[in-house]
């Protein structure tokens, strides 16, 4: 048994441009070109899109949320169905979070000890416990291609050191459990492991303190994982602070392993953090904002409900090649949004995710051609986070 | 100027089998093979499906609701955008109802006179008037390929004769207005007519009384339209009564013109009424029921929320070739429904509409091959309206 690696999961860098890296993640459910963006499919479905839509958009990997799937329909039921890929009918790569993020968001409904987190379900108030070991087992049953360790999250104003230290201790326990599941076939069978090629990623914490981040990197590397995530960012800190933490942390991670920046971000964040050496991203913004009528364009965000679009026959983004922009006008999308048609969420989501996935494709191409810095400066020059006031 | 026909709308029968007819409706936005089922796109969108999904399902014509579109976004706005086809991005055929059905459903919020119907919007209480002439103008602005005359609807327990007679008088006024729009280019321009090839259908009323139906047929034919609808059915009467009214009425309509049974029905109703000479159908059942978790199968309806499907890895209908059945299990669809994912409505709607549209395709094929009676008896033998109690 390889100590740190599974037999089927691998990562290789195929080109670099400055600190930006192009690579390929090989998983039991296909290859994923990086840098990549992972659409969020919380409960086994990306909201308002079918799997076919996602495939057409070029999504090679999606994210599932362990907390939600553990509660409904339950990870044991999913394991009996053959794992998450079989259960939801998605044959491509998937990553699952540890469930920790959702649990730590349940303010007042959870209690943290060294053992793990006790929490009450937001659905029925039932008491559950999540430990580094059980989070590993749940994800082993789900059978995602990449499982995340349970980490301790604190709000940005709390002291980051104790949570970073506990995260490191939990990482060692999660890894020990994972190696046990990999080496003990009888245990794996009793736990209902559904994907023997599952990789496990550690998570670097430490808030915004460079020294703590460095210590977290060292302690997480000492445990050893197939890949490494940077957690605890995009939680309200200024965007420059986030960029600085990424710039400080990413270069300390092993060059030959994937780096995943959790829960980030806006399109310009993706460009900025690829420039700082990140390979993987996930974020609910493109899908959630789509359902709220916020559409991304080359020039920035437009709010489709605004009256100014009532008779605007232009596509959301005249430069965009997505199915929504090729067929529908701002006027029609505004109408669908205003009357509350489900189609508004569907067409807006398809557009926003195309924007993200197309951006990642252009980033990958630019890295190969050595023109990433040009793409980056051009993108930051034209894209604005603020809603457009006029066309 | 042709007196009854537009230059571009035509209908031809290509095969018959008993009273069942196969034909082709030619419209300014493409041909429609009949017998056909028209998915309902109330506000310019079939709920939970994209236009691309509809095209993949083989839908050649959809229905839009005049009442809803008149209120929001408004028929004048739609006309300024070039008409409904341009506004919603649907290049294929469309039929619009007159708006009457919705208005007459606004119990207590409408008042009927010989002139028309005054009603209050269900959205803001604003006062509107719908007359035979204004319903014609509104649909001329929408520019559907088939416009319906305004008819008077009464509940099944009221006397049918006065409403039938008023419908006949209104039909003459609606037709006169339509012919005026067709012959007077200046008027057409001031009204904002967007589809000069629009056909107009009359509606036969008369409740369940054969004599009244016959009289209504005669009076409607005397006005003369491009096609004829049978209205006032599927409003609560026993299904056999509906079949009898259709069997009585359809043969009295001109053999060379399309016959449309409004608002019907369940799949077995479609088979039964094709057998009685109907060419066109529309109904909200497949789409509305899909959103309520009711899935059609060859054996009948299943309610996907039932606990019995929690671990059922079979597709909704093992004999079905739709995208939903080819990829997803009952267990997954139940999960999506139970957790309230939009994907449940999307996948269920795609399945139910496939069921309807595939059934119509099989009916058309059977008529050509002279095997429609075999299809009909087989269908009635295996399909049950009642929910399945077990697989």
Q: What angle do CA B373, B374, B377 make, to 5 degrees?
A: 85
Contacts of A55 in chain B (CB under 8 A): none
pLDDT confidence band for A248 (50 / 70 / 90): very high
pLDDT at position A8 is 81
Name which of A336, A53, A350, A52 is nearest B89 in CA terms.
A336
- The verdict on a CB contact (< 8 Å) between B332 and A44 is yes
Q: Which residues of chain B have pLDDT under 70?
A: 1-7, 388-391
CB-side exposure of B285: number of CA atoms within 13 Å? 20
pLDDT confidence band for A6 (50 / 70 / 90): low
pTM recorded for the entire structure: 0.96
* pLDDT tens per residue, range A315-339: 999 999 999 999 999 999 999 999 9
Q: Which residues of B touch A (CB under 8 A)?
A: 43-45, 47-52, 68, 72-73, 77, 80-81, 87-89, 310-311, 313, 323, 327-329, 331-332, 335-336, 338-339, 341-343, 345-347, 350
> Do the beta carbons of residue B97 and residue B69 sit within 8 Å?
no
pLDDT at position B391 is 42
Contacts of A81 in chain B (CB under 8 A): 311, 313, 329, 331
Q: Which residues of A touch B (CB under 8 A)?
A: 43-45, 47-52, 68, 72-73, 77, 80-81, 87-89, 310-311, 313, 323, 327-329, 331-332, 334-336, 338-339, 341-343, 345-347, 350
User: Parallel, antiparallel, or unpaired for β B259-261 and B36-38?
Assistant: unpaired
Q: What is the DSSP secondary-structure string of A343-369?
A: HHHHHHHHHHHHHHHHHHHHHHHHHHH
* pLDDT tens per residue, range A47-73: 999 999 999 999 999 999 999 999 999
Indicate which of B316, B346, B354 best probes the interface with A, i.e. most A CBs within 10 Å of its own CB: B346
* pLDDT tens per residue, range B302-315: 999 999 999 999 99
User: What phi, psi does A58 have (nearest 5°)?
Assistant: 90, 15
pLDDT confidence band for A5 (50 / 70 / 90): very low
- The verdict on a CB contact (< 8 Å) between A47 and B342 is yes
| Token pair in block for residue A210 | 């460079």
| Token pair in block for residue B124 | 């803001």
Name which of B321, B275, B309, B296 is nearest B382 in CA terms.
B296
| Token pair in block for residue B10 | 């035509």
Nearest-by-CA chain B residue for A74? B335
| CA–CA separation, A97 and A103 (whole Å) | 11
Q: What is the four-CA torsion angle of A170, A175, A178, A179, rounded to 10 degrees?
A: -140
Q: Is the ipTM beyond the 0.85 threshold?
A: yes
3-state secondary structure of B82: coil
3-state secondary structure of A156: coil
User: What phi, psi does A285 have (nearest 5°)?
Assistant: -55, -50
Indicate which of B55, B335, B336, B346 best probes the interface with A, i.e. most A CBs within 10 Å of its own CB: B335
Name which of A23, A70, A64 is nearest A43 in CA terms.
A64
Contacts of A332 in chain B (CB under 8 A): 44, 87-89
pLDDT at position B388 is 62
Dihedral of alpha carbons B90, B96, B99, B101, sign = negative
Active site residues of A: 97, 282
Give whole-number Cα distances, A285 to A264, A281, A355, B184, in Å. 9, 12, 12, 53
Question: What is the nearest CA distance from A266 to chain B, expressed in angstroms?
Answer: 24
- The verdict on a CB contact (< 8 Å) between A51 and B338 is no
A115-129, A194-208, B359-373: least confident range? A115-129
Q: Where are the beta strands (DSSP E) in A245-314?
A: 259-261, 280-282, 294-297, 300-303
pLDDT at position A389 is 53
> Do the beta carbons of residue B230 and residue B260 sit within 8 Å?
yes
- The verdict on a CB contact (< 8 Å) between A335 and B44 is yes
> Do the beta carbons of residue A317 and residue A380 sit within 8 Å?
no
Element (H, E) at A25: strand A20-27
Contacts of A328 in chain B (CB under 8 A): 89
Flag whether pLDDT at A364 surpasses 70. Answer: yes
Flag whether pLDDT at A1 surpasses 80. Answer: no
Facing A345 at nearest CB: one of B88, B310, B342 = B342
Active site residues of B: 97, 282
Nearest-by-CA chain B residue for A44? B336
| Token pair in block for residue A383 | 């894209």
User: What phi, psi does B44 have (nearest 5°)?
Assistant: 90, 15
- The verdict on a CB contact (< 8 Å) between B310 and A346 is no
Nearest-by-CA chain B residue for A348? B50
pLDDT at position A284 is 97
Facing A72 at nearest CB: one of B72, B89, B339 = B339
- The verdict on a CB contact (< 8 Å) between B342 and A338 is no
- The verdict on a CB contact (< 8 Å) between A313 and B338 is no
Facing A310 at nearest CB: one of B49, B77, B341 = B77
* Bridge partner list, A32: A25
- The verdict on a CB contact (< 8 Å) between B44 and A323 is no
Contacts of B288 in chain A (CB under 8 A): none
Strand order in the sheet with B110-112: B110-112, B117-120, B127-130
The total number of residues shown for chain A amounts to 391
pLDDT at position A3 is 41
Q: Which residues of A310-342 are buried (b: 16+ CB within 10 A; e: fewer)?
A: bbbeebbbeebebbbbebbbbbbbbbbbbbebb
């Amino acid at each position: 048994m390889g100590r740190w690696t599974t037999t089927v999961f691998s990562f290789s860098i195929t080109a670099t441009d400055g600190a930006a890296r192009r690579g390929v993640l090989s998983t039991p459910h296909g290859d994923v070109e990086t840098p990549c963006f992972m659409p969020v499919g919380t409960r086994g479905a990306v909201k308002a899109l079918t799997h076919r839509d996602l495939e057409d958009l070029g999504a090679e990997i999606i994210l599932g949320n362990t907390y939600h799937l553990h509660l409904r329909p339950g990870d044991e039921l999913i394991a009996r169905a053959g794992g998450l890929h079989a259960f939801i009918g998605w044959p491509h790569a998937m990553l699952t979070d540890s469930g920790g993020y959702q649990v730590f968001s349940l303010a007042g409904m959870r209690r943290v000890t060294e053992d793990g987190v006790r929490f009450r379900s937001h659905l029925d108030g039932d008491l559950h416990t999540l430990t580094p070991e059980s989070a590993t087992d749940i994800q082993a049953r789900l059978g995602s291609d990449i499982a995340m360790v349970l980490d301790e999250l604190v709000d940005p104003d709390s002291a980051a050191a104790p949570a970073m230290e506990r995260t490191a201790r939990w990482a060692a326990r999660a890894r020990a459990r994972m190696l046990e599941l990999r080496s003990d076939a009888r245990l794996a069978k009793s736990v209902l492991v559904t994907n023997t090629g599952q990789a496990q990623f550690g998570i670097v914490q430490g808030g915004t303190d460079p020294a703590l981040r460095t210590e977290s990197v060292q302690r997480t590397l000492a445990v050893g994982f197939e890949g490494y995530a940077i957690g605890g960012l995009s939680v309200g800190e200024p965007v420059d602070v986030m960029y600085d933490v990424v710039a400080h942390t990413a270069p300390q991670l092993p060059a030959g392993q994937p780096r995943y920046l959790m829960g980030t971000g806006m399109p310009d964040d993706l460009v900025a953090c690829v420039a700082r050496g990140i390979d993987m991203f996930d974020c609910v913004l493109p899908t959630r904002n789509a359902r709220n009528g916020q559409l991304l364009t080359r020039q920035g965000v437009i709010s489709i409900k605004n009256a100014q679009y009532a008779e605007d026959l232009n596509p959301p983004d005249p430069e965009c090649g997505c199915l929504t922009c090729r067929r529908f006008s701002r006027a029609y999308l505004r109408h669908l949004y205003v009357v509350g048609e489900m189609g508004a969420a569907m067409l807006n989501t398809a557009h926003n995710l195309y924007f993200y996935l197309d951006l990642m494709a252009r980033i990958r191409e630019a890295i190969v051609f050595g023109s990433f810095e040009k793409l980056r400066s051009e993108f930051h020059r034209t894209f604005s986070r603020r809603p457009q006031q006029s066309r």
